[in-house]
Amino acid sequence: MGEMVALLIGEVAQRAGVSAPTIRYYEEIGLLGKPLRSSTGYRRYSESSVEQVRFIRKAQALGFSLDEIGEILKLSRSGETPCSHVRSLGHQHLAAVEQRIRQLHHFRDQLAEEVARWDAQDTAVTCGGLCQFIADAEPGVMNDGASLQPKTSRPQRRRRGVTGQ
């Protein structure tokens, strides 16, 4: 096997399947420790760094956010066993994914019903001032929180005349 040939950031990036700026970004937010530097300032990585980046990508692929991955890594560095924490997070993610699937199923059923109704109608007849397809959509389609992109919360504010709490 070869010498202790330290890897440049681009080589680590290539092996781990990410871009070089991504690795710097991971370092910046504390996911990766600061690597040794050559005399000219180049980052020098070992093979294990590649594994660490792959670890991050795997955890990401399992649905963990970078924040959560940071938690896990911090726990593991502090000597604690993060596995029980990871296990707990795993169950949480599983539940979240299953709920999301249920939401999407419901959403798909609603949308499929609407689209089927659209297909069954005559275009020329149904187009009024706006598109009647959408205007007439079932109220049940709304407020299910299952659109393609996750939404940010939109808290309501009190109004004059409305006795809120």
Partner DNA sequence: CTTGACCTTCAAGTCGGGTTGAAGGTGTGT
Partner DNA sequence: ACACACCTTCAACCCGACTTGAAGGTCAAG
- Where do contacts with DNA occur on this chain (CB under 7 A)? 8-11, 18-22, 24-25, 38-43, 60, 65-67, 149, 151-152, 154-155, 157-161, 163
Among DNA, a second copy, none, residue 42 binds (CB under 5-8 Å by kind): DNA
Query: Binding of a second copy at residue 105 (CB under 8 A)?
Result: yes
Q: Residues 7, 51: contact at Cβ < 8 Å?
A: no
CB of residue 16 to DNA, shortest distance in Å: 11
Among DNA, a second copy, none, residue 141 binds (CB under 5-8 Å by kind): a second copy
Query: Binding of a second copy at residue 86 (CB under 8 A)?
Result: yes
Q: Which is nearer to a second copy, 26 or 86 (CB)?
A: 86
Beta bridge partner(s), residue 37:
43
Q: Residues 35, 49: contact at Cβ < 8 Å?
A: yes
Query: Binding of a second copy at residue 118 (CB under 8 A)?
Result: yes
Q: Residues 18, 57: contact at Cβ < 8 Å?
A: yes
Query: Binding of a second copy at residue 23 (CB under 8 A)?
Result: no
CB of residue 133 to DNA, shortest distance in Å: 19
Q: Residues 44, 35: contact at Cβ < 8 Å?
A: yes
Structure tokens at 107: 């959403």
**In angstroms, rounded to a whole number, what is the distance separating the alpha carbons of residues 79 and 104?**
40
Among a second copy, DNA, none, residue 78 binds (CB under 5-8 Å by kind): none
Element (H, E) at 43: strand 43-44
Q: Which is nearer to DNA, 120 or 148 (CB)?
A: 148
Q: Is 152 left (phi over 0), alpha (psi -120 to 50) or beta?
A: beta
Among DNA, a second copy, none, residue 102 binds (CB under 5-8 Å by kind): none
